[in-house]
Every structure is written in structure tokens, then in C-alpha cells.
Copies of this chain bind each other. A is one copy, B any other.
Amino acid sequence: MKSTLFPLKFQVEAQDGEARAGVITTRRGVIETPVFMPVGTAGTVKGIRFEELESADLDARIILGNTYHLWLRPGIDVIKAAGGLHRFIGWDRALLTDSGGFQVWSLGDLRKITEEGTEFRSHVDGSRKFLSPEVSMEVQAALGADIVMVFDECAPGQATHEETERSMELTTRWAQRSRSAFDRLQSEGVETGHVESSPGLSGRQALFGIVQGASHLDLRRRSLEQTVEIGFDGYAIGGLSVGEEKSVMFDVIDDIAPRMPRDCPRYLMGVGTPTDLIEAVARGVDMFDCVLPTRNGRTGQAFTSRGKLNIKNAQWAKDPRPLDESCRCSVCRRHSRSYLRHLFLTGEMLASILLTHHNLAFFLDTMRGVRQSIRSGDFLKFRREFTERLGANGE
């Protein structure tokens, strides 16, 4: 008899149009969806302490780690020595690791893609490296995240139908190899981040598939079919927000998200602004990750309920107001635009720390609002009011 224990459980609990509110139960706690995952590239969500991620202000239930970066530095031997990524970084909530496929693809001329995998030079020390479905699964097993992503290939936003088809078919074959390597590693159970099983949960890692196909809807649909046929614990839409028009991105999400398995989490990778998140939720997406709140925080840009705010602007020199008068985060409760501008212009680290905190609070709080509105059947109202508040600023 087959085990009824799964790596994770997903339950849609409310729906408003295509928008879904649900719960992912993982080995490390419950994640309410739709969810935004802060990006912890090199084992740290840049500029913020884990205590703040856990605080009521943010309450991030899951963060993302980048396999490519962690593999190159500090290296898997260091993370293995600590007993996996959770223990290495000191984070006991859920973690998702990407496969390294996107980072390697982003290297452009520095990498060479073959059927077997991708050869590239390390950006850290210039050494020659090779990443494949099998290597990625081994590395991600050693990292021991709660959710692992298949190793995929990404076609450029402007790729022709023929180029995209070739790339998409390669992604499917790599997905199959990822699945096989992952299953073998999980059944061996050595250094694969297994934890104690718990009611309904196997204690094993979960594996998500990735749908590719650039802007070509027929290829996207075929990629989805092939990926679902292999079978995964969740499904992601990859290869968006890589330079294509925003309308193209939403055409793809419009077409693909509602066709994705209803009983599995749907994850839109690397997207996006608060508006993008809400628009994707309206099309049935459950999970997001993006560097925008952290990266823009470090360059002086705040996301607010009235749109983006550049803290460098002279108009804030003596402005006693918080970044966002509607925000209740610890930064907005305590600090003025005037002070934050001064910190930024003086090159003080605290500017990045505080803007990062506020931006993450804003993203995570927006998703809380999204979830509540879906559960109360007011999502369309929430979406309209959110967009209207942004006003001319747009995002």
C-alpha cells in the first residue's frame, strides 16, 4: 500500500473569482496563501535580521535561498557541516531553494548549455563549474530546504517559437531527470534534509516543477501538460519578468495559471511589484518571490500605499511624515522621511536597514490584506481600492 504521507499539504479554503486563499502545511509550520517569500540569496535576506522576519510586523513564514550562490559560497561542505541550510543560517521556518538554473542562465556568455547540463565560470573565483539536474538535486538535498525546485532552462523573452520549443523540451527532459534524481536521493535519505514525520507529513522535501515556454502560449500549455504528467508537489511559472512587456507576462499568467492543477500550490517565480502580485492572485497564483522590496530598499526606494517614493528627493528634507501614513510597521511608527533621507544621503547603513524593513512589511501586509479580502469575498474591491490609492504613481 502506498504511503498517504506527503511532503506538504495544500488546501484551498476560499475562492473569489480565480483568486484563492489557502494553507500550505509544511514540515516547518503553516503558510497562508497567497504568500510572498522574501529572497535570501546568500543565506540572508539582505539588510534584515531573522528576528525581524519573524516579528509581527513581517511574520514571513517562508523565505527563499539561491542554490547557485550558496553552492559557490560558502560551499556545500560548510553548509553540510552545519547540518543543512536551516541550521547554518539560524532559521527554523520554511525554506524554498531554487535550482540554480535561472542564475546560471543569467550569466549569458559565461555559460554553455548542453543536453547534459550547464557549464559556467564561477563569478566568485572564475573556476569552471558544471550544473545539471542531478547536481542541482544533490546540492538542494544537502541544503535541505522544505521545497526544492527542478533544474530548468529559461528562454529569453524575445525567443522565437523554434528556439523556445527547443528550450522548453530541454526543460521537460531536465524536469524528468530532476524528479528521478530527487526521488533516488529521498529514498536513500542521506543528507536530504529529512525531518521527523508528523501528522499527515512524511518529513521529506517537496519538489516543484516549472512551466517554461516564454511568451508562446501553445508551448506554455504543452510545458504545463508535460510537467504535470511527470508529477510534482507544486507547480511554478518560470521565465517571466525577464525583459518581456508586462502585458505579455499577464497574457501568459491569464492563460496558464487557471489551467494549473487546482489542488497544488501555484508559484509565479521572480515577480513582482505589489500590483503585479495582486493581478497574478486575481489569475489564480498562490506563491511569489521577488528581490524588489529588499533591492529597492537599498537604493532608496520605498513602496507605499500611495505608490513608490524615492527617499533621496529634496522634497522630503524636512518632511516629518513616515514613509507611508497608512503603514503601522516599526519604521513608520518611529521615523520620518526627513530622517530617512538624511541617513540615505549620509551613506548610513541604517537607511538600507529601515527601508528594507518597511518594504518587506508593505509587501507582506499587502498579502495579508489580499488573503483576508478573498476569504471575505471582497477581493475585487480590495484590488480596485489598492490600485486607486496608488494613483498616478502606478506601482
Contacts and interface: CB of A to CB of B under 8 A. Distances in A.
A82 to B, nearest CB: 6
Given A317-B74, A334-B90, A349 B81 contact: no
B46 A330 contact: no
Contacts of A320: 81-82
Interface stretch (A129-137, A216-224, A350-358): A350-358
Interface stretch (A29-37, A47-55, A241-249): A47-55
A139 B287 CA distance: 52
Interface string A74-118: 100110011000001110000000000000000000000000000
Contacts of A88: 336, 338-339, 342
A89 B340 CA distance: 9
B349 A352 contact: yes
Nearest to A320: B82
A349 B349 contact: yes
A346 interface: yes
Copies in the complex: 2
A56 to B, nearest CB: 13
Contacts of A73: 342, 345-346
Contact of A78 (B74, B89, B330, B338): B338
Given A82-B338, A334-B50, A338-B81, A44 B348 contact: yes
Given A78-B342, A82-B336, A330 B47 contact: no
Contact of A49 (B78, B81, B318, B354): B354
A330 B43 contact: no
A343 interface: yes
Contacts of A44: 343, 348, 350
Interface in A19-48: 42-44, 46-48
Interface in A112-126: none
A215 B78 CA distance: 51
Nearest to A318: B81
A334 B54 CA distance: 13
Given A78-B317, A82-B318, A349 B46 contact: yes
Interface in A303-356: 317-318, 320, 330, 334-336, 338-339, 341-343, 345-346, 348-350, 352-354
Interface of A: 42-44, 46-51, 73-74, 77-78, 81-82, 88-90, 317-318, 320, 330, 334-336, 338-339, 341-343, 345-346, 348-350, 352-354
18 contacts: A42-B346, A43-B343, A44-B350, A46-B349, A47-B349, A48-B350, A49-B353, A73-B342, A73-B346, A74-B338, A74-B346, A77-B318, A78-B318, A81-B320, A82-B318, A88-B339, A90-B335, A90-B336
Top 6 nearest A-B pairs (CB, nearest first) are A81-B318, A74-B342, A90-B334, A44-B350, A42-B346, A90-B335
